[in-house]
C-alpha cells in the first residue's frame, strides 16, 4: 500500500531530478559551445631546414599542429633530429632519432581581434634514437685509447614549460615562435656509451636545457567567430 | 600589440641566454681511487710511510716527496681498461690490490676530450690482511679500506740524556746505519736526529740484536730478550706470535733499561702494544 506522503515525496524527488536535469542540460549546451575548437593551425619549424642545409652537423625537421579551444591551445609536435660531430682529437659522435611532444597552452590575448596568441604552456615529450661514438684519447700514462660504442633504440621522455607567440601575418598565414624550458629528462645513463645529445631535447651535460622554435603556420578556421 | 612586442623581446633575451650553454672541458675523468689505511683491530685510521705507488706497472704518485706519512692515498687508475693492479709500497710492507671497475665513456664536444666515468669499483684480489670497498664510485671519498693485522713484534726505544741533576730528559740520536741479526724491516730513516725508533723483533728466536752505526763511525749494539707465545688475536689474522717479558740482555749504550711507568698508566712496558708504546729508554 502506497501512502499519500510517499507519493508526495516521490513527486518532489522527480521534480527536483527534472529541474536538475534541465539545469545540467542548459549548462552542458553552454559549456559545449565554449569548448568547440575554433581554429586549427598547422605549421613547420623554419630554422631546422636552414640549419640542415647550412650545417654539416645537423639534419632535422619539425612540424606542429595546434587547435584553439576557448582560450587554450591543444598542441602536438613531431620532429626528426640527427647530429654529427667530430672533435679536434678525432673522436666522433652521431645520433639520429624521432621525437614528439603533446601538451596545452593558455592564451593570454583573449580579446585580440586577430586572435594573436601569447601563451604559456606545458609539454610532455618523448624521443627514440640511435647513437654511435668513436672515442679517442691519448694518455701520457696509459697510452692511446680508441673505442667505438653504440646505443640503439634509446627512449627518453622529458617535460617542457613553454612560452610562445603566434601572430597573424596575412589571411591564413601566421608566424610564431616558442621558447622551451626542458627538464626532468628520464635518461638512465647506465650504458657503456653515455648519451651526449637527445633528439628534440639537446645536450645531456646539464639537468635542464633551453630550446627555441620559429614556425610558419596556416590557420584553418573551424568555426566562425562571433 | 604592445604586449605582443614585449613578449617578443623576452623570447629573444631567452635565446641569447641559451647560447651560453656550452659544455665544460674539465672534470672529464673520475679515475682517482682513494685507499684508506686502517687497523683491523678497531677499524681506526692507520698511519703509514708510503714509499711508492704503482698501477699496472706504472708509477702514478700524486705526491711530490719520495716518502710521505699518511692515512689515505689516491692513485690514478687505468681508465682505458676495466682493471688495474695497484701496488702500495710502505716501509712496513708492499701490498698488491687488483681492482676492477666499470668504465663508461661519453663524447663531450668538438673541443673536449672524451669523458670517462668509473663506477662499480670492486677488489678482484689482494694480499693485504683485509680489504673492503665502502664506496664504489671513485673520486667520492675513501673507496677501498686496506686493513692490517695487529703488529705484535715492534718495540719502541726512546733516546734520553742525563741532566746535571741526574734526571733523564728527551734526547735525539742520529743513526747512519742499522743492522739486525735477522732479516728485519726497519721503520726509520737512516738520517736525521731521531727521538725514538721502532724495531721489529725476530719472531723465530728468543733474542734479537741490533747494531747501530753513528755519524762518528762508532757503533752501538743492543740485544733484547723475550718470550714468545702464539695466540689468535683476530680470527681474520689467524695465529700470531705474541712477545712478552721484554728485557735487555746486553747493551753497549751508556745505559739501557725498561721505560719507567708513571703512576697514572697501567701499561706493561715489557709487552708489545699496537700502536707501540715506549718499551725501553737508552742513554748515550
Boundaries of every domain in chain A:
1-31, 41-221
With respect to residue B117, please indicate whether it lies within any of the assigned structural domains.
Answer: yes
Predicted confidence at residue B64, as pLDDT, reads 57
Query: Higher-confidence residue: A96 or B169?
Result: A96
Query: Higher-confidence residue: A199 or A11?
Result: A199
Query: Shortest Cα distance from B83 to chain A (angstroms)?
Result: 12
Last residue of a domain, one of B98, B126, B148: B148
Examine the domain organization and report whether B218 and B259 are in the same domain: yes
Q: Which uninterrupted H or E stretch holds A71? A: none
Residue of B20, B58, B106, B109 best to disrupt the A interface, most CBs of A under 10 A? B106
Predicted confidence at residue B2, as pLDDT, reads 53
- Segments of chain B scoring below 50 in pLDDT: 16, 19-20
Question: How many domains in chain B?
Answer: 2
Predicted confidence at residue A124, as pLDDT, reads 97
**Average pLDDT of the segment spanning A164-184:** 93
Tell me if ipTM is over 0.85: no
* DSSP state, residue B26: S
Examine the domain organization and report whether B109 and B162 are in the same domain: no
Examine the domain organization and report whether B139 and B231 are in the same domain: no
Note whether B80 contacts A116, CB cutoff 8 Å: no
With respect to residue B6, please indicate whether it lies within any of the assigned structural domains.
Answer: no
Q: Which residue of A has its CA nearest to B76?
A: A141
pLDDT(A23) > 90: no
Examine the domain organization and report whether B121 and B170 are in the same domain: no
Q: Which residue of A has its CA nearest to B119?
A: A190
pLDDT(A89) > 60: yes
Judge whether A102 is closer than 8 Å to chain B, CB to CB: no
On chain A, the residues whose CB falls within 8 A of the CB of B8 are 165, 177
For residue A7, the tally of other CB atoms under 10 A from its CB is 10
- Please name the member of B7, B17, B105 whose beta carbon is closest to the beta carbon of A149: B105
- Express each pLDDT in A38-67 by its tens digit: 889 999 999 999 999 999 999 999 999 999
pLDDT(A12) > 50: no
- Please name the member of B80, B104, B109 whose beta carbon is closest to the beta carbon of A192: B104
Predicted confidence at residue A94, as pLDDT, reads 96
Examine the domain organization and report whether B97 and B177 are in the same domain: no
Note whether B21 contacts A143, CB cutoff 8 Å: no
Judge whether A167 is closer than 8 Å to chain B, CB to CB: yes
Judge whether A140 is closer than 8 Å to chain B, CB to CB: no
Give the number of beta-carbon pairs within 8 Å between A and B.
105
Judge whether A51 is closer than 8 Å to chain B, CB to CB: no
Note whether A118 contacts B79, CB cutoff 8 Å: no
Predicted confidence at residue A24, as pLDDT, reads 44
Query: Shortest Cα distance from B142 to chain A (angstroms)?
Result: 23
Separation CA B8–CA A5 (nearest Å): 69
With respect to residue B16, please indicate whether it lies within any of the assigned structural domains.
Answer: no
Examine the domain organization and report whether B268 and B227 are in the same domain: yes
Please give the backbone phi and psi of residue A20, each rounded to the nearest 5 degrees, phi first: -65, -45
A68 backbone φψ class: left, alpha, beta (φ>0; ψ -120 to 50): beta
Half-sphere exposure of A197 (CA within 13 A, CB side): 25
Predicted confidence at residue B22, as pLDDT, reads 59
Note whether B113 contacts A116, CB cutoff 8 Å: no
Note whether B7 contacts A165, CB cutoff 8 Å: yes
pLDDT(A70) > 50: yes
On chain A, the residues whose CB falls within 8 A of the CB of B110 are 85-88
Judge whether B122 is closer than 8 Å to chain A, CB to CB: no
The pLDDT mean for chain A works out to 85
On chain A, the residues whose CB falls within 8 A of the CB of B101 are none
Separation CA B99–CA B33 (nearest Å): 10
A219 backbone φψ class: left, alpha, beta (φ>0; ψ -120 to 50): beta
Separation CA B228–CA B231 (nearest Å): 10
Indicate the pLDDT class of residue A26, thresholds 50, 70 and 90.
Answer: very low
With respect to residue B161, please indicate whether it lies within any of the assigned structural domains.
Answer: yes
With respect to residue B121, please indicate whether it lies within any of the assigned structural domains.
Answer: yes
Least confident of A5-14, A208-217, B168-177: A5-14
In this structure, the strands spanning B83-90 and B196-200 are: unpaired
Query: Considering only CA atoms, which of A214, A174, A179 is closest in space to residue A40?
Result: A174
- Please name the member of B4, B104, B113 whose beta carbon is closest to the beta carbon of A137: B113
Predicted confidence at residue B276, as pLDDT, reads 84
With respect to residue B54, please indicate whether it lies within any of the assigned structural domains.
Answer: yes
In this structure, the strands spanning B280-283 and B154-162 are: parallel
CATH 2.40.160 fits A41-221, yes or no: yes
With respect to residue B9, please indicate whether it lies within any of the assigned structural domains.
Answer: no
Q: Which residue of B has its CA nearest to A132?
A: B107
Examine the domain organization and report whether B67 and B135 are in the same domain: yes
* DSSP state, residue A195: P
Please give the full DSSP string across B108-176, using - where no structure is assigned. --SSSPPEEEEEEEEEEEE-SSEEE-S--STTSS--EEEEEPPP-SEEEEEEEEE-TTS-EEE--EE-S
Predicted confidence at residue B97, as pLDDT, reads 96
Judge whether A193 is closer than 8 Å to chain B, CB to CB: yes
pLDDT(A179) > 60: yes
Last residue of a domain, one of B129, B148, B167: B148
Examine the domain organization and report whether B190 and B273 are in the same domain: yes
Last residue of a domain, one of B148, B174, B204: B148
**Average pLDDT of the segment spanning A9-33:** 46
- Please name the member of B15, B103, B114 whose beta carbon is closest to the beta carbon of A91: B114
Query: ∠ at Cα B80 (B79, B85), nearest 5°?
Result: 65
Examine the domain organization and report whether B121 and B219 are in the same domain: no
On chain A, the residues whose CB falls within 8 A of the CB of B10 are 163
Examine the domain organization and report whether B133 and B174 are in the same domain: no
Please give the full DSSP string across A158-192, using - where no structure is assigned. EEEEEEEEEEEEETTEEEEEEEEEEE-------SS
Range of the domain at B74: 32-148
- Please name the member of A165, A194, A209 whose beta carbon is closest to the beta carbon of B105: A194
Note whether A179 contacts B11, CB cutoff 8 Å: yes
Residues A23-54, buried b or exposed e (16+ Cβ, 10 A)?
eeeeeeeeeeeeeeebbbbebbbeebeeebee
Amino acid at each position: 500500500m502506497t501512502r499519500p506522503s510517499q507519493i508526495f515525496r516521490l513527486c518532489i524527488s522527480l521534480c527536483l531530478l527534472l529541474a536538475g536535469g534541465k539545469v545540467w542540460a542548459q549548462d552542458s549546451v553552454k559549456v559545449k559551445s565554449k569548448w568547440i575548437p575554433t581554429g586549427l593551425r598547422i605549421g613547420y619549424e623554419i630554422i631546422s631546414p636552414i640549419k640542415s642545409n647550412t650545417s654539416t652537423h645537423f639534419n632535422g625537421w619539425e612540424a606542429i599542429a595546434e587547435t584553439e579551444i576557448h582560450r587554450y591551445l591543444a598542441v602536438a609536435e613531431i620532429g626528426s633530429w640527427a647530429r654529427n660531430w667530430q672533435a679536434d682529437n678525432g673522436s666522433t659522435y652521431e645520433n639520429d632519432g624521432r621525437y614528439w611532444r603533446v601538451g596545452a597552452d593558455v592564451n593570454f590575448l583573449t580579446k585580440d581581434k586577430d586572435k594573436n596568441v601569447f601563451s604559456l604552456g606545458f609539454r610532455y615529450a618523448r624521443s627514440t634514437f640511435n647513437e654511435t661514438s668513436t672515442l679517442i684519447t691519448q694518455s701520457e700514462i696509459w697510452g692511446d685509447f680508441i673505442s667505438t660504442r653504440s646505443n640503439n633504440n634509446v627512449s627518453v621522455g622529458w617535460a617542457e614549460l613553454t612560452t610562445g607567440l603566434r601572430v597573424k601575418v596575412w589571411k591564413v598565414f601566421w608566424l610564431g615562435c616558442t621558447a622551451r624550458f626542458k627538464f626532468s629528462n628520464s635518461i638512465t645513463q647506465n650504458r657503456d656509451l653515455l648519451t651526449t645529445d637527445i633528439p628534440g631535447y639537446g645536450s645531456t651535460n646539464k639537468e635542464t636545457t633551453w630550446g627555441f622554435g620559429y614556425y610558419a603556420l596556416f590557420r584553418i578556421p573551424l568555426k566562425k567567430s562571433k | 600589440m604592445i604586449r605582443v612586442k614585449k613578449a617578443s623581446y623576452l623570447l629573444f633575451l631567452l635565446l641569447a641566454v641559451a647560447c651560453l650553454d656550452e659544455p665544460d672541458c674539465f672534470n672529464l675523468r673520475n679515475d682517482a681511487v682513494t685507499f684508506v689505511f686502517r687497523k683491523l683491530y678497531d677499524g681506526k685510521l692507520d698511519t703509514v710511510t708510503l714509499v711508492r705507488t704503482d698501477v699496472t706497472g706504472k708509477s702514478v704518485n700524486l705526491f711530490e716527496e719520495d716518502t710521505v706519512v699518511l692515512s689515505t692515498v689516491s692513485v690514478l687508475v687505468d681508465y682505458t681498461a676495466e682493471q688495474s693492479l695497484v701496488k702500495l709500497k710502505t716501509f712496513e710492507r708492499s701490498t698488491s690490490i687488483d681492482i676492477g671497475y666499470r668504465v663508461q665513456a661519453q663524447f663531450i664536444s668538438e673541443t673536449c676530450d672524451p669523458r670517462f666515468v668509473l663506477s662499480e669499483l670492486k677488489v678482484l684480489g689482494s694480499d693485504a690482511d683485509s680489504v673492503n670497498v665502502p664506496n664504489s664510485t671513485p673520486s667520492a671519498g675513501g673507496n677501498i679500506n686496506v686493513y692490517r693485522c695487529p703488529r705484535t713484534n715492534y718495540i719502541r726505544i726512546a733516546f734520553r740524556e742525563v741532566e746535571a741533576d741526574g734526571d733523564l730528559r728527551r734526547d735525539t740520536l742520529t743513526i747512519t746505519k742499522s743492522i739486525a741479526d735477522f732479516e728485519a724491516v726497519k721503520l726509520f730513516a737512516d738520517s736525521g736526529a731521531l727521538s725514538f725508533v721502532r724495531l721489529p723483533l725476530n719472531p723465530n728466536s728468543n733474542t734479537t740484536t741490533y747494531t747501530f752505526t753513528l755519524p762518528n763511525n762508532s757503533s752501538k749494539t743492543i740485544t733484547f730478550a723475550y718470550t714468545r707465545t702464539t695466540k689468535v688475536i683476530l680470527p681474520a689474522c689467524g695465529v700470531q706470535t705474541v712477545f712478552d717479558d721484554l728485557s735487555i740482555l746486553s747493551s753497549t749504550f751508556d745505559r739501557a733499561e725498561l721505560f719507567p711507568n708513571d703512576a697514572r698508566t697501567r701499561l706493561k712496558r715489557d709487552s708489545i702494544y699496537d700502536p707501540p708504546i715506549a718499551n725501553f729508554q737508552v742513554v748515550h
